[in-house]
Amino acid sequence: MTDRPDSTSLPPDLPTETPEPAAPGLYVHVPFCSRICPYCDFAVTPLGGPGSERLDRYRQALLQELELRAAALGADTVYFGGGTPSLAPAGFFREVASAAVERGLASPSPFVFLEANPEDLVHDPDLARRWAAEGVWGVSLGVQALDESRLRFLGRAHNASDVAVAVSRLAEAGIPWISADLIYGTAGQTPDSLREELVAIAALPGVNHISAYELSIEPGTPFGRRQARGETLAVRSDHASALFREVHETLRESGFAAYEACNFAAAPEFRSRHNRKYWSLVEYLGVGPSAHSFAPERGERFWNQRAFDDWEEAILRGEEPTAERETLCSHERALEELFLRLRTTDGLPLGRFAARYGEAVVRANRRLFRDWRDRGLVQLRGDELRGWLLPTRDGLAVADALAREVNLDALAHDRNAA
């Protein structure tokens, strides 16, 4: 691990272009939160009680899991998600990333990213500087809203002024990648009010990446239970479509280009280095409770025990804390690739898709692809068998539906995708 330069500019060795990622990624799940947001369906638990004791138990078990999973993975990104990684103690990110490097799971000097809540940076003025000293390159800030009533509705602990303070401290510390997360589509939100929030977020000095997600109501969450009782918590689907267009138009006008349906960057070099691995079906390993992994050469997914105690107990027995594994058949892999790639502006490379799943699949869908083009949902670059399908904004809005329209009957059921 090396300290990054104390500068808000990009370091000289950081490329200005980001081709499709090839190196694997490492995801570290930090399962603790100071409070649980009513919309959250992730594997999280309130820190509560003797928080430092639980964090230390987690740290020790996590380091043991890295030992158990030691392999020549060579990930060039280490992403700490949650939960709330910004609750972690001083030195945690350097220690874990260094341990991953020592065990072959990460390459030397990987890009280290973490998720954070604005209030943590407000309460501790030196937090961002400590992260920079630990080699942190990027921070994804859980803004979620700048409207005070929406912040209260979403159960957030910060206010709008806290966001400006948090971003300022990250920028002053020299963190080169600062992303702001936004949730839109809450009941009563209008395109005009959404535009105001988007413009304000885009104008925050230092923010060079924005993720904007439509509110999703999941069963079992407080919001899910309220919706089951008849409460209206989110906008109607037709209204959500208008808000999706507003997000894309406003952020484009503010200098943030979409590169995925929900993700926007101020320049190509600020596209997410870690999340793009998921969309490109690159190998990744997840450690920590509930963390998911993908081994593309085997077409295998596996995931850890969700409950903290179950995860910890398996590690203390000297066992990898894997809860379950699944091997995707060719049809499943092809459908997943369609779902993921049609959500990105890089689109679907037809030649590569044909090489993996058979040219007959592409031939069988040429008429469908032309129909998408004629409806303004995609651009077709190159020929119909070896070119690229590039979704337009309207195509990104219905990417999941497009993936389901593709006829995969011509795919040989016993073909093993590369």
Q: What is the pTM of this model?
A: 0.92
One-letter identity of residue 363: R
Helix (H, G, I), strand (E, B) or coil at 294: strand
Compute the mean pLDDT over every residue in the chain, rounded to the nearest whole number. 92
**Does residue 299 belong to any structural domain of this protein?**
no
Helix 92-102 to helix 51-68 angle, to the nearest 10 degrees?
10
212 and 361 assigned to the same domain: no
Averaged pLDDT, 379-387: 90
**Segment 106-123, tens digit of pLDDT:** 999 999 999 999 999 999
pLDDT score of 7 more than 70 = no
d(CA 89, CA 85): 9
Residue matched to tokens 């804390």: 321
pLDDT score of 260 more than 80 = yes
d(CA 265, CA 122): 25
Domain count across the chain: 2
Domain with 401, as residue range(s), is 330-405
- Strands ordered across the beta sheet of 177-184: 257-260, 263-265, 209-214, 177-184, 136-144, 106-116, 75-82, 25-30, 284-287, 292-295, 300-304, 322-327
246 and 156 assigned to the same domain: yes
270 and 340 assigned to the same domain: no
88 and 153 assigned to the same domain: yes
Question: Residue 303 forms beta bridges with which residues?
Answer: 292, 324
Question: Of the residues 278, 312, 338, which one is the last residue of a structural domain?
Answer: 278
pLDDT score of 417 more than 60 = no
The pLDDT assigned to 19 comes to 62
Q: Which residue has the higher pLDDT, 40 or 2?
A: 40
Buried b (16+ CB within 10 A) or exposed e, 84-108: bbbbbeeebbbbbbbbbbebebbbe
**Segment 292-341, tens digit of pLDDT:** 999 999 999 999 999 999 999 999 999 999 999 999 999 999 999 999 99
